[in-house]
Amino acid sequence: MTQPTVLVTGGAGFIGSHLVEALLADNFLVRVLDNLSTGKRENLPHHPNVELIVGDVADPNVVQRATQHCQAVAHLAAVASVQASVDDPIGTHQSNLVATIQLCEAMRAANVSRIVFASSAAVYGNHGEGQAVDEDTPKAPLTPYAADKLASEYYLDFYRRQHGLDPVIFRFFNIYGPRQDPSSPYSGVISIFTERAQKGLPITVFGDGHQTRDFVFVQDLVAVLMQALKAPRATHQPMNVGWNQATSLNQLLQIIQRVLGHLPTVDYTTPRPGDIRHSRANNERLLTHYRLPTPATDMHEGLRRLLGK
């Protein structure tokens, strides 16, 4: 029997490349569709079971080809920078919503039903600040990025009801780990802080550093994505992926200092407009449906692995 093929859109990116590794380790054939806008070929392992299609998910001909003979799709491709969506709402909309619809159309035509989608905690906006947000918290997308993620969720649900697609929607909180690109100032805060700390460059904190995030180590997320791709039955309600743990940026800096043994100068400046002060996931729904790595990788261990210590 031939091994099942999984299509990973955005597979050359940070999260996608970790998922590709896990799929290969589990003997899947992996097809990656990536336009290499932020992803890199080097992120992908040289392996006979990986095929890379360089192309755009918003291109109907490309997705039609990419979905042929697939058993499941992990849709991770997106312009993941919130600021990019603010600066270029029309350009990013192609990757962040039109691509999702093109993919659904292609899956429908190719008779592929399971799709695991990377949505975001950004769909909640500032709602629930200071408390753990559950999935029923009112949605308040504040940026084109968040609006496109929420609209993608709605389209996936439409294709489920109308055309039998079998979507699993995860709202990721803050994911971190190796290969997260620190080059943009809007990248994940951990990749920026750790890169600067390793190079001995000063670190700038926007605000007082007491703002908190719910950080998830990328391999813990991948363990959840793998279950969602393989589960015989999907759970159709969107699910938060976070650990219900708040870590402040100041605590993060202390942990980096403990792991590295040193920390460069830290400057505090005015908060960035629109930055959410506290973000933490209520993850009861996730715990009900998925086996989580127990214990989840704690911040010290995750940063130790990220920093290669």
Q: Which is nearer to ligand NAD, 86 or 268 (CB)?
A: 86
Q: How far is the CB of 96 from ligand NAD (least distance, A)?
A: 8
Query: Please, what is the angle between helix 144-163 and helix 99-110, to 10°?
Result: 20
- The single residue among 5, 6, 8, 13 that binds ligand NAD, judged by CB under 6 A, is 13
From 64-72, 171-179, 196-204, 288-296, give the range in contact with ligand NAD by CB under 6 A.
Answer: 171-179
Q: Nearer Cβ to ligand NAD, position 127 or 202?
A: 127
Site string for ligand NAD, 22-51 (x = CB under 6 A): -----------xxxxxxx------------
Binding-site size, ligand NAD (CB under 6 A): 30
In the list 6, 80, 203, 249, the residue contacting ligand NAD (rule: CB under 6 A) is 80
- Nearest-approach distance from CB 77 to ligand NAD, in angstroms: 4
Q: Which of 6, 50, 78, 197 binds ligand NAD (CB under 6 A)?
A: 78
Told to check if 174 binds ligand NAD by CB under 6 A, we report yes
Q: Taking CB under 6 A as the rule, does residue 21 contact ligand NAD?
A: no
The CB-side HSE value for 295 (13 A sphere, CA atoms) comes to 7
The reply on whether position 169 binds ligand NAD by CB under 6 A is no
Q: Exactly one of 20, 74, 99, 169 binds ligand NAD (CB under 6 A); which one?
A: 99
By CB under 6 A, tell whether 240 contacts ligand NAD. no
| Cα distances (Å, whole numbers) of residue 292 to 58, 62, 142, 218, 222 | 33, 35, 30, 13, 10
Binding of ligand NAD by 14 (CB under 6 A): yes
Q: Please name the residue that has the structure tokens 């911040």.
A: 299
Active site residue: 124, 145, 176, 290, which one?
145
* Residue of the chain from 6, 7, 73, 77 that contacts ligand NAD (CB under 6 A): 77
125 binds ligand NAD (CB under 6 A): no
Is 120 a residue that touches ligand NAD (CB under 6 A)?
A: yes
- Residues with Cβ < 8 Å from 151, sequence gap 6 or more? 97
Q: What is the C-alpha separation between 155 and 220, in angstroms, rounded?
A: 27
255 binds ligand NAD (CB under 6 A): no
**Catalytic status, residue 290:** no
Active-site positions?
Answer: 145
Q: Which residues bind ligand NAD (CB under 6 A)?
A: 9-10, 12-16, 33-39, 56-58, 76-80, 95, 99, 118, 120, 172, 174-175, 188
